[in-house]
Chains A and B, each alone.
Chain A
Amino acid sequence: EDQVTQSPEALRLQEGESSSLNCSYTVSGLRGLFWYRQDPGKGPEFLFTLYSAGEEKEKERLKATLTKKESFLHITAPKPEDSATYLCAVQARTGNQFYFGTGTSLTVIP
C-alpha cells in the first residue's frame, strides 16, 4: 500500500535555529515527490518537486533532498514568517493519484 509519513508532527524552533523535516514514503515506484507549505485557512502552496534519488532543490532558506525512501526539508536560519504547516506528497508510477502526508506544523519563535 502506498503510504507517506511525515515527522515530527510539530516542531518549535528559535529564530535562527536550523533543523530538518522528514517525509518517508513507500510507493510502488516513485513518479515524483512534492513539498508544499500551508498557512492557516489557506490552500497548499507549491515549494519543490523532486523526481529521483540524489536530487536537491533550494529556495531561500529551504532545501529539499530525496533518497530512495525519504525526503528531507532542511530549514536554515528560520524566521518567524517560515511558520506554517509543511506537506509532503508522492505520486506513484502506477496510477495517477497523489498521496499526502499529514504534515509538520512548524513554529519559529522570535
Chain B
Amino acid sequence: NAGVTQTPKFQVLKTGQSMTLQCAQDMNHNSMYWYRQDPGMGLRLIYYSASEGTTDKGEVPNGYNVSRLNKREFSLRLESAAPSQTSVYFCASSRQVNQETQYFGPGTRLLVL
C-alpha cells in the first residue's frame, strides 16, 4: 500500500518549457488535490478534484491546468513555466472533500530557470 505517489521527485525547467506532474493514490479516495509550498507562504491549494470527472480552482490556479485521468490519478500541467512557479508541489487525497483528512505525497521539487 503505497498511499500517494508523485513523479518526478525533482525537475529543472527553463522558462517557457512545459511539463506534467503526475500523482496517483491507491486508497480508493474520491477527492484529490494539488498544493504548492513556498517559504513563508504555507501550503496553497492550486486545484482540486472533489470526485472523478470534476475539477475546481483553488487559491492560486493561474498558470496551471489539471486532469483527473481516473479515480486514482490526478495530473498537474505547467504549459509555459515561469520562475515564479519554482516551488515544491504536493499532491494529496481524501475519501471525500468535506471534513476528511488529506493524505499527502512526498512532493516534487521544481526549479524554473
Q: Which residues of A contact B (CB under 8 A)?
A: 4, 31-32, 34, 36, 41-46, 49, 51, 87, 89, 91, 96-98, 100-103
Asked if A102 and B90 make an inter-chain contact with CB atoms under 8 angstroms apart, the answer reads: no
Also in contact, A43 and B106, with CB within 8 A (given A87-B43, A100-B43, A101-B42): yes
Task: Give the B interface residue count (CB, 8 A).
Answer: 26
Interface string of B82-110 (1 = CB under 8 A from A): 00000000101000011101111111000
Also in contact, A46 and B103, with CB within 8 A (given A96-B98, A100-B44): yes
Alpha-carbon distance A49/B101, docked complex (angstroms): 7
Asked if B42 and A96 make an inter-chain contact with CB atoms under 8 angstroms apart, the answer reads: no
Alpha-carbon distance A44/B98, docked complex (angstroms): 19
Q: A42-B107, A100-B44 are in contact. List 16 more A-B contacts (CB 8 A).
A: A31-B98, A34-B101, A34-B102, A41-B107, A43-B90, A43-B92, A43-B104, A43-B105, A46-B103, A49-B101, A87-B42, A91-B98, A98-B33, A98-B102, A100-B35, A100-B42
**Smallest Cβ distance from B93 to chain A, in angstroms?**
11
Asked if B21 CB lies within 8 Å of chain A CBs, one says no
- Enumerate B54-68 residues with CB–CB distance to A below 8 Å: 56, 58-59
Alpha-carbon distance A101/B40, docked complex (angstroms): 9
Alpha-carbon distance A45/B4, docked complex (angstroms): 12
A-B contact pairs, 11 of them (CB 8 A): A4-B42, A34-B101, A34-B102, A42-B107, A97-B45, A97-B48, A97-B59, A100-B35, A100-B43, A102-B42, A103-B42
Which residues from chain B contact A97 at a C-beta distance below 8 Å?
Answer: 45, 48, 58-59
Alpha-carbon distance A98/B40, docked complex (angstroms): 17
Alpha-carbon distance A102/B40, docked complex (angstroms): 6
Which residues from chain A contact B44 at a C-beta distance below 8 Å?
Answer: 100
Most buried by B among A41, A51, A97: A97
Asked if B24 CB lies within 8 Å of chain A CBs, one says no
Which residues from chain B contact A49 at a C-beta distance below 8 Å?
Answer: 99, 101
